[in-house]
Chain A
């Protein structure tokens, strides 16, 4: 399984990488080529099947919701409640899909989101925003996210610190800094333009849901239709081959963490608009929800394979599950239990698919 993923950069193989990997002695000789072909052949079919499986799971959940609670589940208002809940986790999950596909992981997303939310709601920032324009707050949130991503990225790619450790350190420090800046108090936002914009609705759809949709759409295009996306697959699949193919692996890795940081900033803006506050407790443990959604979506934790559509459906599965549980008045403990079962089932199914696509 693991040697298989190393060799196969996935369906978005960079044009330059194709001639390199077979001729390159380090990637293994004839033995390494065979599974690669199997995977390439398999992905077209099983990728679709895998997403179909996810869609099926989501549909089943919706049917359960409709059967048990009827119109209460099916109403537009409830649908929007689900989407608003999904937006924050969803935006970060899109960014995480890139990082995990690129062979990394980022545990600091919740902490970075908290730090962004705090920095962007300090008295100083808010005063400046009132004096000039609320866009200042947006700039602050995104800049803080980008800076944190940059630091993590540099540590991972140039400092050679394992992503798990580098981002664990970022988790601790960002949360700590957020507590220092806010003195662990909840900072309330009182910038009318800001709350008006993010709290608004366009033809009945809340702005943060539109933002989620935009991020998902842009993420899909970048992932599947650009060099950046293909490079991400190559870097995650086999960094050495990617390097030989002329990709600046280190720089690309930094960029992956920076884009995730920026999206944490976006998530911070969303949570600020939802709560009208910035605090150091925002996003606690959100990294687990995010990673869970990415993994059940079908992105390989080892890197080299990923899917944006799968991630979006993964996020929707978890938020719909939460909603169905709330509507049915069931305890959150049962829900946590079921969540664990779903994650394991999804991963086992993925392995099945992977094995099947390899066998012919």
Chain B
């Protein structure tokens, strides 16, 4: 039950700016309603949660913005904070050096901020300092990469990597379902990362449901160069393909270039993460890219929302609970030409 509502919630969070659109997500048509609220920082349906309260000082720290998705994390957090006059956001953005990120959090603790929103470069490595913050009475909102110790965060906002694989697999199943001999290829991200392993597992499981399997699998590295290299090799390995799932839309730029150069278009491709670029392409229907599965880059913004509610002792509007939940896992919806309108406003620019 809680998982389901978390998913519903997730859809809303993806579609619009979190709490505002949450108000619309009461019914069973969460996704649709969320969609009409997209981009909805409008004052339309303000619940009591949006009324200005005591000023909340939030410290925010995330890894270096070295690709589109990560850049959007900080950007969307900033936008979320700007939408509230009672949020004072201190951004110590952008470092892949855990030593430095720890000192940023230490600075927040010294400053006595009201809450800390943290997307750690390495969840395990940031656990001690997060625990320190929690012990100092500062609630920590953990985003995307989980801490080692559940006590190190009050709220955890996560994407759904396994779910991404499932969404991509189910979509390919629905397109190819009647053909058990169809050739399915997968262009993964960095293979050694747990998140890549989760995505591939979900993909495999979902394909298994309709009797398909992954015939060709090549790992890339989330960069356009890596995607181009991996896709070129894939095309050599597989003379005929029916469907491709590419884990990441940033590397997808290179993947599509490789397909273009080779003049291959006998298949359709599903992307991953959900960049605005990919969505525009889906909308225009100008390439083999027909769908993408979202890994929300608005998680940072959701973290800010949670922090604000937490400090102001408010609850999530549409839950019965009087406290902000412990964990929110966002949904990984499939975006196609049919529903791209709904998602394109919250997509990230790569």
Expressed in whole angstroms, the minimum distance between the Cβ of B105 and any Cβ of chain A is: 10
CA distance A332 to B62 in the complex (A): 11
* Closest B residue to A322 using CB positions: B100
Q: Are A81 and B103 in contact (CB under 8 A)?
A: yes
Q: Are A88 and B125 in contact (CB under 8 A)?
A: no
Q: Are B94 and A277 in contact (CB under 8 A)?
A: no
| B106 interfacial contact with A, CB 8 Å | yes
Q: Are A327 and B111 in contact (CB under 8 A)?
A: yes
Q: Are A184 and B193 in contact (CB under 8 A)?
A: yes
In the complex, chain A residues 177-209 whose Cβ is within 8 Å of any chain B Cβ: 179, 183-186, 188, 199
In the complex, chain B residues 320-350 whose Cβ is within 8 Å of any chain A Cβ: none
* Closest A residue to B74 using CB positions: A331
Q: Chain B binding site: helix, strand, loop or mixed by DSSP?
A: helix
Q: Which of B42-50, B85-93, B159-167, B174-182 contacts A (4 or more CB under 8 A)?
A: B85-93
* Closest B residue to A278 using CB positions: B125
For A132, the chain B residues whose CB sits under 8 A away are none
CA distance A281 to B104 in the complex (A): 18
For A327, the chain B residues whose CB sits under 8 A away are 107, 111
CA distance A326 to B113 in the complex (A): 13
* Closest B residue to A273 using CB positions: B128
Number of A interface residues at 8 Å Cβ cutoff, please give it.
37
For A82, the chain B residues whose CB sits under 8 A away are 103
Q: Are A72 and B111 in contact (CB under 8 A)?
A: yes
Number of B interface residues at 8 Å Cβ cutoff, please give it.
33
Q: Are A85 and B93 in contact (CB under 8 A)?
A: no
Q: Are A277 and B192 in contact (CB under 8 A)?
A: no
Give the A-B pair count, Cβ closer than 8 A: 93
* Closest B residue to A289 using CB positions: B97
In the complex, chain B residues 99-115 whose Cβ is within 8 Å of any chain A Cβ: 99-100, 102-104, 106-107, 109-111
Interface centre among B100, B125, B192 (most CB of A within 10 A): B125
| B311 interfacial contact with A, CB 8 Å | no
| B95 interfacial contact with A, CB 8 Å | yes
Provided the pairs A275-B126, A281-B96, A331-B93 are in contact, do residues A188 and B107 lie with their beta carbons within 8 angstroms? no
Q: Are B94 and A183 in contact (CB under 8 A)?
A: no
Provided the pairs A183-B192, A275-B125, A327-B111 are in contact, do residues A284 and B94 lie with their beta carbons within 8 angstroms? no
For A72, the chain B residues whose CB sits under 8 A away are 110-111
| B215 interfacial contact with A, CB 8 Å | no
| B262 interfacial contact with A, CB 8 Å | no
Cβ-neighbour of A186 out of B97, B104, B122 (below 8 A)? B122
Q: Are B110 and A77 in contact (CB under 8 A)?
A: yes
For A332, the chain B residues whose CB sits under 8 A away are 64, 92-95
| A84 interfacial contact with B, CB 8 Å | yes
For A322, the chain B residues whose CB sits under 8 A away are 100, 103
Closest 5 CB pairs of A and B: A275-B125, A85-B103, A184-B192, A186-B124, A77-B110
Add 7 more A-B contacts to A188-B124, A284-B97, A327-B107 (CB < 8 A): A72-B110, A84-B102, A183-B192, A281-B96, A285-B97, A319-B103, A332-B95
Interface residues of B (CB under 8 A from A): 64, 90-100, 102-104, 106-107, 109-111, 121-129, 148, 192-194
Interface residues of A (CB under 8 A from B): 72, 75, 77-78, 81-82, 84-85, 88-89, 179, 183-186, 188, 199, 271, 274-277, 279, 281-282, 284-286, 319, 322-323, 326-327, 329, 331-333
A-B contact pairs, 30 of them (CB 8 A): A72-B111, A81-B106, A81-B110, A184-B193, A186-B122, A188-B124, A271-B98, A274-B102, A275-B99, A275-B122, A275-B127, A275-B128, A276-B125, A276-B148, A277-B125, A279-B124, A279-B125, A281-B98, A281-B122, A282-B98, A319-B103, A322-B100, A323-B107, A326-B107, A327-B107, A331-B93, A331-B94, A332-B64, A332-B93, A332-B95
